[in-house]
A and B are shown apart, each in its own frame.
Chain A
Amino acid sequence: MECSEALDLLYSSFDGQVTPTEQALLDAHRRMCFSCAANLVKAERFQELLRHVPQLTVPRGLEQRILNRVAGQTSGAMFKAAKVRSIASGAQRHWRGLSMAGAALAAAFAIFIVAHGTLQDLGTHRPARETVTAVVRGSLEDIGPDSKVGNVIGSSIPISSGETLRNTSAAPATVAITPHLAVTIDAASQIRFLKVHTNADTSVTDIIDVHLDRGSVRVRESLHKDASAIHLATDQATMVPTGTVFAVAKSPGMTHLTVSSGKVAVFTPSGVFNVAAGQGVRVARGAVLRDRSSQSIPH
């Protein structure tokens, strides 16, 4: 028997894959071959070592990231909303404690839409529970939950859960959703309202879950409550602002966030990070990375 055969036979014996005859041949070779003896002992120790290789634990949040990714890349609309919400509700809990400092900043912001006097339009619609009325400045394509496409130019529109807004024009368009919240959709960008909810008793819009499908958006909100109504999600992270102006851009596999005022809490399934004014981060593969080249957006 060759020494190399002896080693393979020994490996096979670990699997119980040798016959008694083979085992006898192997044992005989071991007794006779001086050069093999040490190597075969090493092989046994190697095998013993392999028995102790630990199973890895799953990185925190991986399961949720899987669900987010699958939701982001497939068309199961119901599935999407459910999963993104589950991050968002965790976000809300966590954010509550951090929001007091942000509240002070909130007063400093005024949404230009207020100055333009278009807010009275908001009162003319009786919002249903899953609908919010927004005022659009600029030009947008509006794709309803029923896939009906319409064009919106400088008017007020009802937005329901499942509605998509797409900016195919060359100029940004701004959607004022509440008196305290406006989202500017940049050219060649698209957002989807995963869920909107207005409290029927108080008429307060308390849930606006937006997914950035393509391009970039800027969010301007002046908040004086515990938690922000808007949660802006990408495949990588959910962003919860307070008293804030921030911009989010999407590129394949990555989310770029730039904060120019206030703070934004970035919820990745692996952790929560606060990004302050003047800072930018990228979120990719569950990791939050400081964006060294980022500039504050003008406002």
Chain B
Amino acid sequence: MLPLSFGVPVTGAVRSYHLESVSSGRDVALMQRISGGDGEAFAELVRRYTRMLYNVAYRYNASAAEDLVQESFLRSYQHASTFSGRSKVSSWLYRICVNVCLTHQGKNGMQMADIDDINEAELVGRHDDRPEAAAERGETFRALEDGLRALPSQQRMVFILRELQGLSYGEIADILGINEQAARTNLCRAKRRLQVWLDPLIR
């Protein structure tokens, strides 16, 4: 097999990414205000990025997702002064969240009966599917989540960041502290396993 770096990439299938390499002045200013203890600035950060981190945390560990997101924001608040502006705020937050997820040791299982399912995550589709197609997909998506949980943590995280969050390999490598080739290898392995897992549902 030829090395992947050989020649010119096929452009037709390239996804478009917004690859800002450094953060905007606005982001830097926001982080500076936060490191100075500005609660309003922090609330702004939370408003902007909760959904992003929640999506990562939920796919990584659905039952602990809220905890993981809260912990990530707590750390971002405590370490706001370490934000240098060399990366995007989103990358910096991803890195914190990924570390929180990867080091999470399932807390002692609190098994209690809910009187209200108030935190049931809502799935909102991007498209106006026919209802039956949407229902079918719902089953497939749940199966995908089950399959994800069975993956080794690093493969799972690479898959989430690449396929569900749409990050570039460069960003993923940076966030996870691995090289791009390792990110690619992890992604291929994750996808092989998931494809096998979902095979009965893929038509």
Contacts and interface: CB of A to CB of B under 8 A. Distances in A.
A9 interface: yes
A1 B113 contact: no
B115 interface: yes
Interface stretch (A68-76, A111-119, A145-153, A174-182): A68-76
Contacts of A286: 66, 118-119
Contacts of B70: 65-66, 69-70
A63 interface: yes
Contact of B55 (A43, A55, A66): A55
B5 to A, nearest CB: 9
Nearest to B51: A58
A74 B78 CA distance: 8
A20 interface: yes
Given A17-B4, A45-B203, A66-B73, A54 B116 contact: no
A287 interface: yes
Given A54-B125, A56-B122, A289 B115 contact: yes
A57 B121 contact: yes
Interface in B165-196: 169, 184, 187-188, 191-192, 194-195
A21 B11 contact: no
B66 A13 contact: no
B164 A53 contact: yes
Contacts of A14: 13
Given A55-B55, A63-B50, A78-B39, A17 B9 contact: yes
A274 to B, nearest CB: 12
Interface in A22-69: 22-23, 25, 42-43, 45-46, 49-50, 52-60, 62-63, 65-67, 69
B124 A55 contact: yes
A23 to B, nearest CB: 6
A143 B43 CA distance: 29
B13 A73 contact: no
Given A50-B163, A57-B122, A23 B10 contact: yes
A237 B140 CA distance: 36
A102 to B, nearest CB: 21
Contact of B115 (A13, A23, A52, A288): A288
Interface of B: 1-2, 4, 6-15, 37-39, 42-43, 46-47, 50-51, 54-55, 58, 66-67, 69-70, 73-74, 77-78, 110, 112-116, 118-119, 121-127, 137, 140-141, 144, 163-164, 169, 184, 187-188, 191-192, 194-195, 198-199, 202-203
17 contacts: A1-B1, A15-B14, A15-B15, A20-B10, A42-B195, A43-B195, A46-B194, A46-B195, A55-B55, A56-B51, A57-B121, A62-B69, A65-B70, A67-B42, A70-B74, A74-B78, A79-B39
